[in-house]
Structure 1
């Protein structure tokens, strides 16, 4: 490779995607998906506040 170009080659630019037209069914599905993600995020936040689930796992006996 005996080229004078140094450094990284710049990646080619991607053409901007055109905005899609959605019908009512697609809009309803997108809205439903957003609501499910929001509910899941709230459940995760609630679970983190409570801490670990009950039980301390396996207990070791003092015997050797």
Structure 2
């Protein structure tokens, strides 16, 4: 072990990812995901306008 070997080793370079061409299935899948995301956002906005679903916290009984 010489003094030059100490310290953190650099990781090997990873090969660059190849850009693959999208076929029709990939395009349809991405389009479907976008539509689902839009519907989810619309539902979130609609739900945000209303008050809380539960009427708040611990319910007390009438007994004392």
Q: Give the structure-1-normalised TM-score.
A: 0.58
Q: How many pairs were matched up?
A: 61
Q: Which residue of 2 aligns with 1:31?
A: 31
- Aligned-CA RMSD value: 2.9
Unaligned 5+ segments in structure 2 are 1-11
Gaps of 5+ in 1: 1-11
User: Partner of 2:4 in structure 1?
Assistant: none
Once the two structures are TM-superposed, the CA of residue 20 in structure 1 deviates from its matched residue by 2.5
Shift, 1:24, TM fit = 0.9
Q: Distance in 1 between matches of 2:56 and 2:48?
A: 17
